């Protein structure tokens, strides 16, 4: 069997799966080859593509939880963009792995050549610096200063969170490493990154010892981060970037101006001063739907029929995400912003209801339900 050269890899298909039973890696790989056979014709037969070196070794990682198995699938390809997306779509049609019902959802298709481009750009920058007499002295000075500030970035705890100087009493919490670099570049060093939208445990513990200032982007994602972080950590103040701007792109003046406008968590969540119209904190307790909201959900459910999609909504009927209904269970486990309401096209199964219960969903809207044994409010509108 031919092997794909790492040099030839163009794309990497990243997928997640959930199965109602105990599985092994060979079960997953066997299902991929067996259940896609003949779907796309001889030119895109996966076994033949792997023999020809156009598809690489399929990597599978599995994790068992009680009687369920979840995991990830990575498929490297040397095919073009359209052929790779066809392969990705084909594996989503797999409904059984081994003896178990299963769901596969493609999370993303990565262009692995991007890292090569990054190397080319960085290498070109270094070569440019080596050309004598081509660089202005002020540019060299600024580069040296920036490099010195970048070198000051440390890592905090076993989670290796990018941070600056955490010795003071106040710590600014931002989303990612780019935010940390921008703040430090502009003289703000008491900063630490969450490395994503989910709050790391070490930052939650840090909140018991220091005053934490949460500094988020001025978009809907910022709102979701505020809700997640304030629910799971002791936060003293909240700062929001200007509407439509990210923390990593703010100038030094904008950073300091926004930090001066910090407000307490209670004031912010109550819709007080500088709350950026994010409004009062939503609560999912005893969710009651008005006649108007039920009418809106009915319209949404009707328009969703035949799409094979599940729509995740918050308590105010704002859309959080639209995904494949087949991959709903896996998505509910990974998503940070948990939905209060789910509108589903298709029959709602026991496994779907269990995943929704684990995510603390309160309402499911669908045309058909395989079971009604749940505390979740089931609406067939």
Given this model, what pLDDT does residue 239 score? 93
Q: What is the pLDDT of residue 100?
A: 86
pLDDT of 144: 59
Q: Report CA torsion sign: 356, 358, 230, 321.
A: negative
> Could you report the per-residue pLDDT of 237-291, keeping only the tens digit for each?
999 998 888 999 999 999 999 999 898 888 887 655 445 444 444 444 457 788 8
Of 63-67, 87-91, 279-283, 351-355, highest mean pLDDT: 87-91
Go through the domains of the chain in sequence order and give each one's CATH number. Answer: 11-113 (3.30.70.2690), 153-269 (3.40.1360.10), 291-379 (no CATH)
pTM over 0.75: no
| DSSP assigned state of 87 | H
Summarize the confidence of residues 172-193 as an average pLDDT.
91
Pair of tokens at residue 187? 């003289």
- Is the separation of the CB atoms in 327 and 105 below 8 Å? yes
Q: Residues, the chain, total?
A: 381
DSSP letter (8 states) at residue 375: S
Decide if pLDDT at 174 tops 90.
Answer: yes
Strand order in the sheet with 11-19: 59-65, 68-77, 11-19, 100-111, 96-97
Q: Is the confidence at residue 6, as pLDDT, over 80?
A: no
Q: pLDDT tens digits for 43-57?
A: 888 888 888 888 989
Average pLDDT over residues 143-167: 76
- CA-based nearest residue to 354, from 104, 25, 65: 65
- Rounded Cα distance between 281 and 379, Å, is 25
- CA torsion 180-182-187-193 (nearest 10°) is -10
- Tokens 């290796």 label which residue? 160
Q: With H, G, I as helix, E, B as strand and everything else as coil, classify residue 73.
A: strand
Identify the pLDDT of residue 150: 57
User: Using CA atoms, how far apart are residues 4 and 78, in angstroms rounded to an integer?
Assistant: 8
pLDDT at position 283 is: 40
Q: Tell me if residue 55 falls in helix, strand or coil.
A: strand
pLDDT band at 346 (very low <50, low <70, confident <90, very high): confident
């Amino acid at each position: 069997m031919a092997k794909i050269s790492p040099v030839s890899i163009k794309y990497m298909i990243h997928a997640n799966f959930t199965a109602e039973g105990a599985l092994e890696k060979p079960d997953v790989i066997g299902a991929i080859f067996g259940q896609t056979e003949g779907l796309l014709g001889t030119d895109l037969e996966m076994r033949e593509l792997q023999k020809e070196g156009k598809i690489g070794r399929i990597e599978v990682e599995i994790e068992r939880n009680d009687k369920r198995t979840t995991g990830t699938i990575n498929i490297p390809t040397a095919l073009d963009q359209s052929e790779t997306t066809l392969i990705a779509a084909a594996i989503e049609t797999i409904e059984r792995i081994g003896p178990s019902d299963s769901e596969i959802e493609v999370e993303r298709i990565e262009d692995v050549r991007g890292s090569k481009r990054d190397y080319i750009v960085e290498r070109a920058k270094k070569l440019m610096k080596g050309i004598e007499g081509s660089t202005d002295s002020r540019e060299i000075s600024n580069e040296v200063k920036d490099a010195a500030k970048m070198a000051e970035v440390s890592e905090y705890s076993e989670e290796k969170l990018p941070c600056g100087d955490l010795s003071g009493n106040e710590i600014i919490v931002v989303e990612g490493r780019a935010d940390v670099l921008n703040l430090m570049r502009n003289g703000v060093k008491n900063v630490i990154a969450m490395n994503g939208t989910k709050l790391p445990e070490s930052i939650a513990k840090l909140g018991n010892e220091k005053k934490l200032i949460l500094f988020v982007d001025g978009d809907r994602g910022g709102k979701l981060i505020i809700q997640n972080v304030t629910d799971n950590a002791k936060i003293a103040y909240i700062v929001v970037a200007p509407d439509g701007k990210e923390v990593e792109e703010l100038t030094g003046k904008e950073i300091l101006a926004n930090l001066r406008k910090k407000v307490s968590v209670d004031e912010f969540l109550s819709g007080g001063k500088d709350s950026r119209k994010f409004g009062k904190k939503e609560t999912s307790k005893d969710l009651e739907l008005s006649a108007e909201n039920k009418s809106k959900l009915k319209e949404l459910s009707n328009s969703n029929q035949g799409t094979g999609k599940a729509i995740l909504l918050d308590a105010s009927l704002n859309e959080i995400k639209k995904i494949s209904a087949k991959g709903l269970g896996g998505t509910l486990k990974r998503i940070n912003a948990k939905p209060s309401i789910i509108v589903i096209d298709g029959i709602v199964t026991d496994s779907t209801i269990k995943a929704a219960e684990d995510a603390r969903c309160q309402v499911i809207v669908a045309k058909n339900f395989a079971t009604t044994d749940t505390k979740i409010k089931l609406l067939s509108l």
